[in-house]
Amino acid sequence: MYNFNLEKGESILGIFDDIFIIINDKQLLVSVAISNKRIMLLDYQSVEPFETLKNAQASYYIKMKEVIFSKCLKDIIELKKDSMYKVVFKDNYIVSFEDKELFNTLKRINKK
């Protein structure tokens, strides 16, 4: 399950699960949500599981992925394919990944 808020006029265009990414040399396995305004990386928040279960009082605890990284689509300055697909943002963040469908979705959206 995912936990994120959309801005006014924002809609989800796609969610991609189990995407291995590299952000400026940091490796992560995340879900990627793409809206008409932003790209969001989602992962489980590091919460102490025993404390969470204690607070849930023996009910079933549903882990939710939350936004750990978000960038405006307008900040994308380059989409390219090297050994991996790469998204380069204005502030020099580089997100690398291997999912072709995700790359093609970003290319299609970025043309608008």
Give dist(CA 30, CA 21) in Å, integer. 7
Give dist(CA 48, CA 39) in Å, integer. 28
> Would you say domain 2-110 falls under CATH 2.130.10.10?
no
Q: Which amino acid is at 18?
A: D
Does residue 82 register a pLDDT over 80? yes
Q: In the prediction, which pLDDT does 79 show? A: 95
Residue whose token pair is 């793409």: 34
**Average pLDDT for residues 66-74, to the nearest whole number?**
92
Give dist(CA 88, CA 78) in Å, integer. 5
Q: Which amino acid is at 3?
A: N
- At 25, the pLDDT band (50, 70, 90 cuts) reads confident
Q: Which residue has the higher pLDDT, 12 or 48?
A: 12
Q: For the whole model, what pTM was predicted?
A: 0.81
Could you tell me where the DSSP H helices lie in the chain?
49-56, 100-110
- At 31, the pLDDT band (50, 70, 90 cuts) reads very high
For the chain, what are the domain ranges? 2-110
Q: In the prediction, which pLDDT does 47 show? A: 57
Does residue 74 register a pLDDT over 60? yes
Pairing assessment for the beta strands 2-3 and 65-72 based on DSSP bridges: parallel
Does residue 93 register a pLDDT over 60? yes
φ and ψ at 44, to 5 degrees?
A: -70, 135
Which neighbouring-strand residues pair with 29?
Answer: 20
Nearest to residue 43, comparing CAs of 24, 19, 7?
A: 19
Does residue 16 register a pLDDT over 70? yes
Q: In the prediction, which pLDDT does 2 show? A: 84
